[in-house]
């Protein structure tokens, strides 16, 4: 059968959460377009972006759902957590209140995603060092206590933006490799590329554990 070349081996679904104005949409835009959107309007509901990136030698398509931080959309955005393989939880290092709300965001994320969902904490606007309101160490400690990855980034300069998405993807990929993420289950947040395009039998797909590096 056809062994046509494919564009990627896996699709990972991500969500970006956090208070309004912390720069979630800017992070997504910087990641997908490599540009900073200085005056970005508030997100209405959810927005969507994709990018293919290479993770541990595998081409992986990231499908990213950027949620609105405004409280009135909470009910809507909660429905987007399900089936996310990765969650970027963002706060603004210049606004302490956005950091203080993290535990509420984390509760939502824990309740509404899989146990395997990789959560990365991102302190955004790292370019505004002079206005810093949350220290690196404090946030780092919070992340460690809660088993989160952590990075400070800037959607403006692009610093660490790529890494934020990459680190999470690496962790997810690692979970696939060691078998802790069950790809055959629906809504694991990861989709494996079809190995036999003709078959169309979901159940006949081999367990992908050992398959990771064969391309």
Partner 1 sequence: MSENKVEMSAEIVQNANVQPQQNNPLSRKLNKILETRLDNDKEMLEALKALSVFFTENSLRTRRNLRGDIERRSLSINEEFARIFKDVKEELESVNEDVHAMSTCCEEMTSRLKAAKEQTQDLIVKTNKLQGENHRLEVRAQVAQAFLTKFQLSGQEMAALRGARDSPITEEFFRALTRVKQIHEDVKVLLRTNQQTAGLEIMEQMAVLQETSYEQLYRWAQNECRGLTQESCDISPVLSQAMEALQDRPVLYKYTLDEFGTARRAAVVRGFIDALTRGGPGGTPRPIEMHSHDPMRYVGDMLAWLHQATASEKEHLDALLKQVTVRGVEENMQEVVGHITEGVCRPLKVRIEQVIVAEPGAVLLYKVSNLLKFYHHTISAIIGTSVATLLITIEDMNVLSKKMFFNSLSLHASRLMDKVELPPPDLGPTSSLTQTLALLREVLASHDSSVVPLDARQADFAQVLSCILDPLLQLCTVSASNLGTADMATYMVNSLYVMKTTLALFEFTDKRLEMLEFQIEAHLDTLINEQASFVLIRAGLSYIYSCVQQHSTQQGPLSTLPGMDTSSLKAAMVQFDLPPPPLVFYDCDYSVDQSTDGSVSSTVSPAFQTAWYPNGGVLKIGAVQHSYFGTLPNFCLWIRQYKGTDPHRTEPHHSVERRHYRVFQC
Ligand X SMILES: Nc1nc2c(ncn2[C@@H]2O[C@H](COP(=O)(O)OP(=O)(O)OP(=O)(O)O)[C@@H](O)[C@H]2O)c(=O)[nH]1
Distance CA 194, CA 110 (A): 30
Q: Which stretch binds Mg ion (CB under 5 A): 39-47, 53-61, 172-180, 197-205?
A: 39-47
List the interface residues with ligand X, window 153-192 (CB under 6 A): 154-156
Q: Coil, strand, or helix at residue 12?
A: strand
Site for ligand X in 111-140 (CB under 6 A): 124-125, 127-128
Sole window of 24-32, 144-152, 162-170, 172-180 interacting with ligand X (rule: CB under 6 A): 24-32
> What does the DSSP 8-state code read for residue 81?
S
Query: What are the residues binding partner 1 (CB under 8 A)?
Result: 1-8, 10-11, 13, 44-46, 48, 50, 61, 63, 65, 72-73, 75-76, 78-83, 112-116, 181-182, 185-189, 191-194, 196-200, 202, 205
94 binds Mg ion, rule: CB under 5 A: no
CB nearer to ligand X: pick between 40 and 183 = 40
In sequence order, what E strands does 10-152 have?
10-17, 46-55, 58-67, 86-92, 118-124, 149-152
3-state helix, strand, coil in the chain (%, to 5): 35, 25, 45
Of 45, 55, 49, 54, which Cα lies nearest the Cα of 80?
45
* Residue 20 binds ligand X (CB under 6 A): yes
Q: How far apart are CA 152 and CA 132, in angstroms?
A: 12
Establish if 43 lies at the interface with Mg ion (CB under 5 A). yes
Residue 70 in contact with ligand X, rule: CB under 6 A: yes
């Amino acid at each position: 059968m056809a062994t046509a070349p494919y564009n990627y081996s896996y699709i990972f679904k991500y969500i970006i959460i956090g208070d309004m104005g912390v720069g979630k949409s800017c992070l997504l835009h910087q990641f997908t377009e490599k540009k900073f959107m200085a005056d970005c309007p508030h997100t209405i509901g959810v927005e969507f972006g994709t990018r293919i990136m290479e993770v541990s030698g595998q081409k992986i398509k990231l499908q990213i759902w950027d949620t609105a931080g405004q409280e009135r959309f909470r009910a809507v955005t909660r429905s987007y957590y399900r089936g996310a393989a990765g969650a970027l939880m963002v706060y603004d290092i210049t606004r302490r209140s956005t950091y203080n709300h993290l535990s509420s965001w984390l509760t939502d994320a824990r309740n509404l995603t899989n146990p395997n969902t990789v959560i990365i904490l991102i302190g955004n606007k790292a370019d505004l060092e002079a206005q810093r309101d949350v220290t690196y160490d404090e946030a780092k400690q919070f992340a460690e206590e809660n088993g989160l990855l952590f990075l400070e980034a800037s959607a403006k300069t692009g610093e660490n933006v790529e890494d934020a998405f990459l680190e999470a993807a690496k962790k997810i990929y690692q979970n696939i490799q060691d078998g802790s993420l069950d790809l055959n289950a629906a809504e694991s947040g990861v989709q494996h590329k079809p190995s036999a395009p003709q078959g169309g039998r979901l159940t006949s797909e081999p367990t992908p554990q050992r398959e990771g590096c064969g391309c």
